[in-house]
Amino acid sequence: MSNLITLNEFIMDRQADFTNATGELSRILNDIAVASKMVSRDVRKAGLVDHILGAHGATNVQGEEQQKLDVVADEQFIKAFRNGGEVCGIASEENDDFVAFESETAKNAKYVVLFDPLDGSSNIDVNVSIGTIFSIYKRTSAQGTLATEEDMLQVGTDQIAAGYVLYGSSTMLVYTTGKGVNGFTLDPSIGEFCLSHPNMKMPETGRMYAMNEGNIDICNPGIKKYTQYCQSFENDKGAPYSGRYIGSLVADFHRNMIKGGIYIYPDTTTSPEGKLRLLYECNPLAFIAEQAGGLASTGKERILDIKPTRLHQRVPLFIGSKQMVEKALSLLEY
């Protein structure tokens, strides 16, 4: 037990990594950790407390029916950022517009956070892993003023930090501040996230591909060629890969971080921009993937290079082990 390192201890130890560190970012990461513990508690009892289960009735900006747990998680994170005093504004999948916090403390804060409070919510009722994804930027607007939409529409390479929480067989928080990727597992007996996966590296290759193959005939023909390559005996492994698609991006991405693999959600004839959102799904996971030695692309360009134009804009996503992403991209037909 003596080598137990809690998230809080780790963040404080690493504070020196940030030039002119004055603790704000550390406090934001801790605010995220506390909110994640609350969401984990609610997720773990989702099957029991019917006031959570079932559609909230409202639909979010994506036109998707909001599951009550989505809304609960969204409110949990917004409360943590509003009360934490280090964030001047947020953008979330569950909110049509961004939110600029109006207190004097918040208006003087330096950071904005973009997040998907509970990705994979369609899995809530079937008890499959779901996740939170977050991305932190320095504001571009002047301190002392309300946050602006421009603060939210920053290119992915300007992220200060990014991470995800996976509510799976255990609850894990994985994040980067641009100096590698580290994973923490929640120990419910002490209520602390503990360092369990130091310096995570995504294997250069793997044997698992994750894609909704129901889309195979309405996306780039090169993707069908790639899945056939994966399923053949003539591929780089001399044996078929395994298809593993959970339908929960964070769960599929985390498995690929550990075992190697690729996740593909392409543009299709019905969704010409793809399905996943650039700001609070693709950018944070792309930052983590690259920090761990992986790749993240739309098929045409690096995810992190895209200049956002809309809060909820969607992009195609090829993300995972370097060699697998490169192979998939090499087969695309334009």
For ligand P6P, which stretch binds (CB under 6 A), given 82-90, 116-124, 189-197, 300-308?
A: 116-124
Tell me if 122 contacts ligand P6P by CB under 6 A: yes
Euclidean distance between CA atoms 178 and 209, whole angstroms: 26
Site for ligand P6P contains 206 (CB under 6 A): no
Q: Which is nearer to ligand P6P, 248 or 297 (CB)?
A: 248
Q: Which pair of tokens denotes residue 115? A: 């997040």
Distance between CA atoms of residues 79 and 99, nearest Å: 12
Instruction: Please report whether residue 267 would count as binding ligand P6P according to CB under 6 A.
Output: no
Give CA–CA dist 85/92, Å, rounded. 18
- Contact pattern for ligand P6P over residues 274 through 313, marking x by CB under 6 A: -xx-------------------------------------
Among residues 205 and 271, whose Cβ is nearest to ligand P6P?
271
Give the interface segment with ligand P6P, choosing from 71-79, 115-123, 283-291, 302-310 (CB under 6 A): 115-123
Query: Which is nearest to 324 in space by CA: 223, 254, 183?
Result: 223
C-alpha closest to that of 289 among 249, 319, 327: 319
Residue closer to ligand P6P, measured from CB, 84 or 261:
261
Binding to ligand P6P by residue 74, rule CB under 6 A? Answer: no
DSSP 88: E
Residue 31 in the binding site for ligand P6P (CB under 6 A): no
**Cα angle, residue 324 at apex, residues 246 and 130 outer, rounded to 5°:** 20
Q: How far is the CB of 239 from ligand P6P (least distance, A)?
A: 26
Smaller CB distance to ligand P6P: residue 88 or 251?
Answer: 251
Let me know: does 140 contact 154? Beta carbons within 8 Å.
Answer: yes
Region near ligand P6P per CB under 6 A, out of 44-52, 172-180, 243-251, 308-316: 243-251
The verdict on 248 binding ligand P6P (CB under 6 A) reads yes
Q: Can residue 249 be called a binding residue for ligand P6P (CB under 6 A)?
A: yes
Site for ligand P6P in 209-228 (CB under 6 A): 212
Distance CA 5, CA 192 (A): 10
Question: Which residues partner with 173 through β-bridges?
Answer: 165, 184
- Asked if 93 interacts with ligand P6P (CB under 6 A), we say no
Q: Is 149 exposed, middle or buried (0-12, 13-18, 19+ CB in 10 A)?
A: middle
Structural contact between residues 205 and 324, judged by C-beta atoms closer than 8 angstroms: yes
Return residues touching ligand P6P (CB under 6 A).
119-120, 122, 212, 247-249, 275-276
